Amino acid sequence: AGVFTYDPGFTSTASCDSTITYIDGDKGELWYRGYPIEQLAAQSHYLEVCYLLLYGELPNPDQLLDFETRVTRHTMVHEQMHYFFRGFRRDSHPMATMVGVVGAMSAFYHDSIDINDPVQREIASIRLIAKVPTIAAMAYKYSLGQPFVYPRNELDYASNFLHMCFSVPAEPYHVDPALSRAMDRIFTLHADHEQNASTSTVRLAGSSGANPFACIAAGIACLWGPAHGGANQACLEMLREIGSVERIPEFLARAKDKNDPFRLMGFGHRVYKNFDPRAKVMKESADEVLDLLGVHNNPTLQVAKELERIALEDEYFVSKKLYPNVDFYSGIILEAMGFPTSMFTPIFALSRTVGWISQWKEMIADPQNKIGRPRQLYVGAPRRDYKPLDQR
């Protein structure tokens, strides 16, 4: 017995103290360690943002060089992992593969799973940030039936990821610096987002003392759902299905219909009741990338912009404060870069890995940390006596 606060979906429960990320949902503001996301997206780059999230301050030049060197040295995965990959069906979704392979990192790197040793925690963090792009690219290559491409350490983080995804031994992929910059910005925009579902999953898994690789695998599994990170794939598929601006009203009517489970993907947010600041940057980036690639009158982008315009004037969306979120425009950029929709959520997962680890490290170091163990309101059968099979 006991009296508990009933809060399904944790809409009003703070589960921890945190110094990492701040969101003001009414104003549409997002800060990492106090720095507004717009400034970081325009002036910083992903590995610097990783340093900031992990250690709390922007690095000086020596600290940044040291951090980049440490990450770069860990980009390869244990050669034995190639065989592990080969156990999956070729047509597996890359998220399915990633949940398995990242979870299996605790078997390959069991010299960094002692959570009570700060040195091991640090090595595990660096390994995860360094290897998750390699694993995501391997999942993609495996699904294509192409050979795995090894990382190249002279490339920056985003260029290296593009190289591992798009190079083949017969022909190296030329990484356009502007595309690599756009990729890097996507990583930065997704790097952390306080106590969202996957981050809370990582914290809950970690609260039992589970090792960091197992916890991040749990985060990846949670992220996959269409209400969360899976929305970027679902959104592009929806925009393609709408196909032309004439069909927008039909889909808007479905989104508003209480009896239709259809929702406008890439719209709405638990915390933002205003523009998601990440969506604004993403929209500008989409224009830039399509211009750069010489894609004009892209029908998906046209549908997206018109859908946004109509929805923002529609009484239903206005009254419920439903605005485009980060997933609304990201898929258009990723598609233009050459990624299939199945790679959108893995790219979200690799970007968010640093946020998950930063939150996990903060939790482990917090003296208040104890196992996460919500209670419930029991509404099942009252006490009753067992009946043997022949009496039922």
Number of residues that bind ligand CMC (CB under 6 A): 20
Please give the C-alpha separations between residue 51 and each of 8, 43, 356, 376, in angstroms, as whole numbers.
34, 15, 13, 39
Please give the C-alpha separations between residue 314 and each of 80, 309, 311, 317, 337, in angstroms, as whole numbers.
54, 9, 5, 6, 32
- From 82, 247, 270, 375, residue interacting with ligand CMC (rule: CB under 6 A): 270
User: Does the protein bind ligand CMC through residue 263 (CB under 6 A)?
Assistant: yes
Q: Could you list the beta-strand ranges (E) of the chain.
A: 21-24, 29-32, 35-36
Tokens of 246: 């004439």
Selected range binding ligand CMC among 35-43, 49-57, 259-267, 352-360, rule: CB under 6 A: 259-267
Altogether, the residues listed in the chain come to a count of 392
- From 264, 281, 332, 347, residue interacting with ligand CMC (rule: CB under 6 A): 264
- From 28, 133, 151, 268, residue interacting with ligand CMC (rule: CB under 6 A): 268
Q: Which residue is nearest to ligand CMC (CB)?
A: 268
Give the Cα separation of 27 and 275 in Å (integer): 8
User: Does the protein bind ligand CMC through residue 227 (CB under 6 A)?
Assistant: yes
Give the Cα separation of 217 and 208 in Å (integer): 15
Selected range binding ligand CMC among 56-64, 258-266, 286-294, 375-383, rule: CB under 6 A: 258-266
Binding residues for ligand CMC restricted to 119-178, rule: CB under 6 A: none
Binding residues for ligand CMC restricted to 190-219, rule: CB under 6 A: 196
Active-site entry in 93, 193, 269, 276: 269
Q: Does the annotation count 82 as an active-site position?
A: no
Buried b (16+ CB within 10 A) or exposed e, 242-271: beeeeebeebbeebbeeeeeebbbbbbbeb
Give the Cα separation of 103 and 21 in Å (integer): 26
Phi, psi of 21, rounded to the nearest 5 degrees:
-125, 140
Residue number with CB closer to ligand CMC (160 or 196): 196
Matching residue, tokens 């859908």: 307
Binding residues for ligand CMC restricted to 9-38, rule: CB under 6 A: 9
User: Does the protein bind ligand CMC through residue 224 (CB under 6 A)?
Assistant: no
- From 266, 277, 346, 355, residue interacting with ligand CMC (rule: CB under 6 A): 266
Residue 357: CB atoms within 10 Å: 28
Residues 6+ apart with CB under 8 A from 380: none
User: Does the protein bind ligand CMC through residue 255 (CB under 6 A)?
Assistant: yes
Minimum distance between the CB of residue 269 and ligand CMC, rounded to whole angstroms?
Answer: 5
Q: Are 162 and 179 in contact (CB under 8 A)?
A: yes
Q: Does the annotation count 296 as an active-site position?
A: no
Residue number with CB closer to ligand CMC (113 or 218): 218
User: Does the protein bind ligand CMC through residue 279 (CB under 6 A)?
Assistant: no
Q: Are 164 and 156 in contact (CB under 8 A)?
A: no
- From 267, 329, 339, 360, residue interacting with ligand CMC (rule: CB under 6 A): 267
Selected range binding ligand CMC among 119-127, 155-163, 171-179, 261-269, rule: CB under 6 A: 261-269
Give the Cα separation of 72 and 148 in Å (integer): 18
Selected range binding ligand CMC among 57-65, 76-84, 131-139, 264-272, rule: CB under 6 A: 264-272
| Active-site annotation, residues | 269, 327
User: Which residues of the shown chain bind ligand CMC in the complex (CB under 6 A)?
Assistant: 9, 196, 227-229, 231, 255, 263-270, 320, 322, 325-327
